[in-house]
Structure 1
Amino acid sequence: MIHKQLFFAFLRVGLLGYGGGPSSIPLVQKEVVQKYKWMSDEEFSDVLAIGNTLPGPIATKMAGYIGYRIAGYLGMINALAASVIPTVLLIIVLFASLAPYRDQGWVHGMTSGVIPVVAVMMGTLTWGFVKKSAVDFGWVKAGVLIIFSVFLLQVTSMHPAIVIAGFIAFALLKKSPKAEEKEKESE
């Protein structure tokens, strides 16, 4: 039963994730966190952060890891196949069908119409992460971290993997408030 659910969850992502990996991320989150509850929002954001630091398409990395975590190696193969096969088939059909019309305005309009949809989906996912950060850190600290991240990414053109790795290192080296309280109590 879990293999069937895993297959159909990532098949929906593969079929509806038009526009590449960024458009697939909110779909994966909806299936994995909200629908099947295979992981929490925190675990999903960890998978997303680590997946973004590795080379290659994010949707397949996430499908492979989540499939493995849910159902082992067969789950990994299952989730990868479900997310990749629709894309491969659709690309073949679309390129074969649209190749003769590639210079037509309606083809350009069709592909341009997807961009706002992907932007809204990514904005919704981002807002969810911002709200989660505000709960964990407070609005001021979350806002400072967001502004600092945007500065590093946009102004200094730092690679996102370096920013993510830096924040992970900071989080690992910084003592949690609970650990600081225990340390004070033991003194």
Structure 2
Amino acid sequence: MHQTQIFLSFFRIGMLGYGGGPASIPLVHKEVVEKNQWLTDDDFSDILAMANTLPGPINTKMAGYIGYRVAGYRGMLNALLASTLPTIVLMIVLLTTLASFKDQPWVQGMTKAVLPVVGVMLAVLTWDFFKNAKKGMGWIAAAILIIVSFLTIELLGIHPGIVIGVLLAAAILKKDKPKPTVEQGGDAS
């Protein structure tokens, strides 16, 4: 019934959604709310909010759920295939092409040039995390937590997932002590 429409809609989104999730969200809205009218604006907003809370690429999460909602499990699989197929094909073509030129100096230079860029991107992301941690817990506590985490991961060889899990459990189990209230009873001055 809707299988061809589902496939074409999410294939278009996959082909045109360059720039990641934020770039594809307006395309998903255009296809599923405006063009095909599978969802209302409120439904779309709810799905977008739910998809943002889950890990993974937002386009595939939304495709899977919307496909399921429109046409059941077949619709879900169809939408997931359509949204990931362009990336799979382009990656195979790109990697195959680059592999055939891997000994060329320009490809080796390009590969070497990517490493510092990725390093800078990770450093910027780390700095942003540190600034956000500072807002929530202060510079000293954030610095101590970073140092202890680094030492635990690097020197003790503990997997980062275990460190994150322990920290999340500690945050959940931590009980906030109620702040004492000032009793007003007379002249405060």
1:151-178 Cα shifts (integer Å, max 9, x gaps): 11111111011001100111011112xx
Aligned positions of 1:36-185 closer than 5 A: 61-63=55-57, 67-68=61-62, 73-74=65-66, 82=83, 84-176=84-176, 180-181=177-178
CA contact (8 A) 1:130 1:142 kept: yes
For residues 121 and 81 of structure 2, the distance between their equivalents in structure 1, rounded to whole angstroms, comes to 22
CA contact (8 A) 2:64 2:80 kept: no
For residues 122 and 109 of structure 1, the distance between their equivalents in structure 2, rounded to whole angstroms, comes to 21
Secondary structure of the equivalent of 1:168?
helix
The number of equivalent residue pairs is 140
1:53-100 Cα shifts (integer Å, max 9, x gaps): xxxxxxxx51159835xx871279668854x44431222222332333
CA, structure 1 residues 104+170, in 2 after alignment: closer, same or farther (shift >3 Å)?
Answer: same
TM-score by length of 2: 0.57
Give the C-alpha shift of residue 13 in structure 1. 4.2
| Aligned counterpart in structure 1 of residue 18 of structure 2, from 8, 12, 20 | 12
Q: Which runs of 5+ in 1 are unaligned?
A: 15-27, 48-60
Q: Which runs of 5+ in 2 are unaligned?
A: 1-8, 27-47, 69-75, 182-189
For residues 153 and 111 of structure 1, the distance between their equivalents in structure 2, rounded to whole angstroms, comes to 28
Q: Which has the higher contact order (CA 8 A, sep 6+)?
A: 1
Over aligned residue pairs, what C-alpha RMSD do you find? 3.9
Structure number with higher helix proportion: 1
Aligned to 2:34: none
Secondary structure of the equivalent of 1:136?
helix
CA, structure 1 residues 86+148, in 2 after alignment: closer, same or farther (shift >3 Å)?
Answer: farther
TM-score by length of 1: 0.57
